[in-house]
A = this chain, B = another copy of it.
Amino acid sequence: MSVNSPLPIASDLKPVNGLRLGHAEAGIKRPGRKDVLVIELPAGSSVAGVFTKNRFCAAPVQICREHLAATNKAGLEVRALVVNTGNANAGTGEPGYQNAIKTCDELAKLMGLKREQVLPFSTGVILEPLPVEKVVAAMPQAISRLEADNWFNAAESIMTTDTQPKAASKQVQINGQTITLTGISKGAGMIHPNMATMLGYVGTDAKVSQALLQQLTTEAADLSFNAITIDGDTSTNDSFIVMATGASGVEIPSSGSAFHAFRQALIEISQQLAQMIVRDGEGATKFITIQIDGGKTVAECKQVAEAIAHSPLVKTAFFASDPNLGRILAAIGYAGIADLDVSGVQLWLDDVWVAKNGGRHPDYKEEDGQRVMKKAEIKVKADLGRGAATQTVWTCDLSHEYVSINADYRS
């Protein structure tokens, strides 16, 4: 089930000058399924990443961090990414680490690189050993298929319980030249049963220094992948990577109009890819935007938005199309802002003003709330009335189907 998420069309996905992608069927979990992806980057590229904060981070996440640091320190460049599905290589201890290293070593050998120039990614079952030989055996096939125009297959090859591939392209004019951004993502629950992980990859032909790219990647992640939630669980493998090949020759400065145009484009494509994950959330029947205004800080706005987004009571009310406003107010109340003056809180469902100064709006009629709740896309807006900060979070409802998917997945 997917809420109004367009299936990406292969021909709409613009190649990113300099990047090539190749997929393979390694048979990690099932034969015949695309489950390995190799991305090749040209010399002169810069790469930035944001990773899970889960203390049980997977071996590949640990190695990504190490390799990004090592290449930056040594003046080397990351030149290849390798992703496998079907196994997360998480909770696998030292053997898991060695398996991820072996993945890098083998791909490096095949592509004439150093180990540190390869970033590894895994998604799938936790706590089971990675069948590294299958990944390695599939690498020649993936390399033989490397093509610039292969984003759709790439999107398919990183799917787990996703019901559809997730990909998008965006082009923006900078200094009279066309800059392309193309990306793919995966993830349906924040963590799947054992199928952990949200992954996002964006490529661009802009030229961006590593430091600036890292700054923009962190910022874009905070406004997109870090602002979506399906069930509040944070995976051991979550990763978001931005790759800038520089092949367009257009250099992005650290301020000014070219900077802002690129920044905006990166945020937009990241949000698009992140929202596709929510729209394809496990069992999702509603796409909910939660905007919290009037906070003292962005952090407290996010805290309130997430309290609403994580409340099983709020989420089941959306599933039932029930304008159960008490549940939303209660979530605002327990979000953890100790000095919140509830008499300053306003609440809207789309255009309907439902709670005024902390209580039911005198003009609010249940049928107006009902009308909004029946829609497939709903905006919840609250104003905390205590500052100028704002934050938006996207989530979905909690349905019978969610319980079925997560209860029945391994049984």
Chain A, residues 315-346, CB within 8 Å of chain B (1/0): the string is 01101111011110111111001101010000
Asked if A360 is at the interface (CB within 8 A of a chain B CB), the reply is yes
Residue of B nearest to A316 (CB): B406
Q: A313-B231, A316-B407, A340-B55 are in contact. Are A330 and B236 (CB under 8 A)?
A: yes
B313 A56 Cβ-Cβ under 8 A: no
B406 A400 Cβ-Cβ under 8 A: no
In the complex, chain B residues whose CB is within 8 Å of the CB of A56 = 329-330, 332-333, 342, 358
How far apart sit A406 and B403, CA to CA, in the bound complex (Å)? Answer: 13
* Closest 8 pairs between A and B when the two form their complex, measured CB to CB: A126-B326, A56-B333, A93-B359, A320-B407, A316-B406, A234-B334, A54-B333, A55-B333
Asked if A196 is at the interface (CB within 8 A of a chain B CB), the reply is yes
Q: Which of A380-411 contact B (CB under 8 A)?
A: 398-400, 402-404, 406-411
A sample of 8 inter-chain contacts (CB < 8 A) reads: A55-B337, A56-B333, A91-B325, A91-B360, A231-B313, A236-B329, A312-B398, A316-B407
Size of interface on A: residues with Cβ below 8 Å to B: 66
In the complex, chain B residues whose CB is within 8 Å of the CB of A319 = 403, 407
A313 B193 Cβ-Cβ under 8 A: yes
Chain A, residues 47-58, CB within 8 Å of chain B (1/0): the string is 000000111110
B326 A91 Cβ-Cβ under 8 A: yes
Closest beta carbon of chain B to A312's beta carbon, Å: 4
Q: A91-B355, A324-B193, A355-B91 are in contact. Are A406 and B334 (CB under 8 A)?
A: no
Q: A327-B193, A329-B91, A334-B54 are in contact. Are A403 and B398 (CB under 8 A)?
A: yes
List chain A positions with a Cβ less than 8 A from chain B.
Answer: 53-57, 88, 90-93, 96, 125-127, 189, 191, 193-194, 196, 231-236, 310-313, 316-317, 319-322, 324-327, 329-334, 337-338, 340, 342, 355, 357-360, 398-400, 402-404, 406-411
A325 B127 Cβ-Cβ under 8 A: yes
In the complex, chain B residues whose CB is within 8 Å of the CB of A403 = 316, 319, 398-400, 402-403
In the complex, chain B residues whose CB is within 8 Å of the CB of A360 = 91-93, 127
Cross-interface CB contact of A324 among B194, B329, B334, B355, cutoff 8 Å:
B194
- Interface core residue of A91, A337, A342, A400 (most chain B CB under 10 Å): A91
